[in-house]
């Protein structure tokens, strides 16, 4: 096994410096009634606090709070409704777990601004600023890291756009992320992470081509963020369900780590942390003949 292209990184999270010398794990908290994996749904602040405690105990560094489903075919909800869902959770987590790093999963600038004021340390935007121009305008003032993800269109129609890549899905996604990074840098955003957008407007074959070539995205010079947990491109080809896809997800997490993933966004924190630990052991093991 060749050495992973992962590089240690730092993130300035609104004045808190996070130093990562190994890949990190982000636990998913969906404050929604309709996210694709029922096991990730939260329907009360107390449930969010309880689940977050278990995720942090299992080794999560980040907790990602989302108030709007982005599954294929999902419609956008208003920012006001989204804020009503996520802000009480972020406030409670900030108070209960002051040492945790909180992320807000949103496409709206208004939600991002309110979430940071409530205690969030990172913005995770599936739309790369394309669904709300206000997002890129307010980011420099928020002083938090930003996850830049590739998605054609919006969740409601993204799976109708899988023919946009020709035979060059890796090149098209890489170019998109590189161009958006230039725009963000020019605006004054310093801490950027890139996410190729696995499952967002891609076929099964395109998703696996992106994953197989994940190390290419490390050449953008910023941490690579990976969100593949329990997605349909894992369980549908296997003829199983999302509920039964933990083992397969963990196998692909180990592959992503080998390819340089810096942060894994996951439903199952303990198993992802185990994958990171096993990757450490593989990295430390010598290759005979070298």
Query: What pLDDT does residue 65 have?
Result: 97
Q: Report percent pLDDT > 70 for the chain.
A: 97
Structurally, the chain folds into a number of domains equal to 1
Q: Per the domain annotation, does 263 fall within a domain? A: yes
Q: Which residue has the higher pLDDT, 72 or 142?
A: 142
Residue 158, domain member (yes or no)? yes
Tell me the per-residue pLDDT of 138-165, one tens digit each, with 9 for 90 and over: 999 999 999 999 999 888 888 888 998 9
* 97 vs 155: which has the higher pLDDT: 97
Compute the average pLDDT of residues 68-78.
84
What CATH number corresponds to the domain at position 78? 3.20.20.20
Residues 230-261 have pLDDT tens digits of 999 999 999 999 999 999 999 999 999 999 99
Q: How confident is the model at residue 50 (pLDDT cuts 50, 70, 90)?
A: very high
Q: Look at residue 22 in the predicted model and tell me its pLDDT.
A: 96
Residue 132 belongs to a domain: yes
Bridging pattern class, strands 9-13 and 16-20:
antiparallel
- Which one is predicted more confidently, 74 or 202? 202
pLDDT of 72 over the 90 cut? no
Residue 61 falls inside a structural domain: yes
pLDDT, position 57 = 98
Helix (H) or strand (E) holding 265: strand 263-266
Q: Whole-structure pTM over 0.85, yes or no?
A: yes
Q: pLDDT per residue over 106-119, tens digit each?
A: 999 999 999 999 99
Q: How far is CA 172 from CA 154, 163, 177, in A?
A: 17, 12, 9
Instruction: Identify the bridge partners of residue 206 per DSSP, sorted by sequence position.
Output: none
Instruction: Tell me what pLDDT residue 151 has.
Output: 94
- Is residue 3 in a domain? no
Q: Tell me, yes or no, whether 169 lies in a domain.
A: yes
Range of the domain at 82: 9-284
- Say if residue 279's pLDDT is above 90: yes
Whether residue 290 lies inside any domain: the answer is no
Could you tell me the pLDDT band of residue 35, with boundaries at 50, 70 and 90? low
Cα–Cα separations (whole angstroms), residue 225 to 9, 168, 183, 277: 12, 21, 19, 18
Does position 38 have pLDDT exceeding 70, yes or no?
Answer: no
pLDDT tens by residue, 205-225: 999 999 999 999 999 999 999
Q: Is residue 2 part of a domain?
A: no
**Measured CA distances, 123 to 66, 127, 139, 142 (Å):** 10, 11, 9, 9
Task: Give the pLDDT score at 3.
Answer: 80
The backbone torsions φ and ψ at residue 109, rounded to the nearest 5 degrees and listed phi first, read -60, -40
Taking the C-alpha atoms of residue 212 and residue 2, their distance in angstroms, rounded to an integer, is 14
Active site residues: 231, 265
The pLDDT, as a whole number, for residue 290 is 65
Largest alpha-carbon pair distance within the chain? 60
pLDDT at residue 289 is higher than 80: no
pLDDT of 126 higher than 70: yes
Length of the chain: 290
Kindly give, in sequence order, each residue whose CB lies less than 8 Å from that of residue 237, ignoring residues fewer than 6 positions away: 204
Which residues have C-beta within 8 Å of that of residue 254, sequence separation ≥ 6? 275, 278, 279
């Amino acid at each position: 096994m060749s050495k992973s292209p992962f590089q240690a990184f730092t993130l300035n999270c609104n004045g808190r410096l996070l130093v990562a010398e190994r890949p990190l794990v982000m636990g998913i908290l969906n404050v929604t009634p309709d996210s694709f994996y029922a096991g990730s749904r939260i329907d009360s602040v107390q449930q969010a606090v309880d689940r977050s405690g278990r995720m942090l105990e299992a080794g999560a560094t980040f907790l990602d709070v989302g108030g709007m489903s982005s599954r294929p075919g999902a419609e956008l909800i208003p920012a006001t409704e989204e804020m009503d869902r996520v802000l009480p959770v972020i406030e409670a987590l900030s108070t209960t777990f002051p040492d945790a790093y909180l992320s807000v999963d949103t496409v709206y600038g208004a939600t991002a601004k309110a979430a940071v004021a409530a205690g969030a340390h990172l913005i995770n935007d599936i739309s790369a600023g394309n669904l709300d121009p206000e997002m890129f305008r307010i980011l420099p003032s928020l002083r938090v890291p930003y996850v830049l993800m590739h998605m054609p269109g919006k969740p409601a129609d993204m799976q109708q756009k899988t023919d946009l890549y020709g035979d060059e899905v890796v090149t098209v996604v890489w170019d998109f992320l590189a161009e958006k990074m230039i725009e963000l840098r020019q605006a004054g955003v310093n801490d950027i992470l890139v996410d190729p957008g696995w499952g967002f407007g891609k076929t099964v074959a395109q998703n696996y081509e992106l994953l197989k070539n994940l190390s290419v995205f490390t050449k953008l010079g910023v941490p690579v963020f990976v969100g593949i947990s329990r997605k349909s491109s894992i369980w549908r080809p296997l003829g199983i369900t999302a509920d039964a896809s933990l083992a397969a997800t963990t196998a692909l997490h180990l592959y992503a780590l080998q390819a340089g993933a810096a942060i894994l966004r996951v439903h199952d924190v303990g198993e992802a942390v185990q994958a990171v630990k096993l990757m450490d052991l593989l990295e430390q093991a010598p290759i005979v003949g070298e």
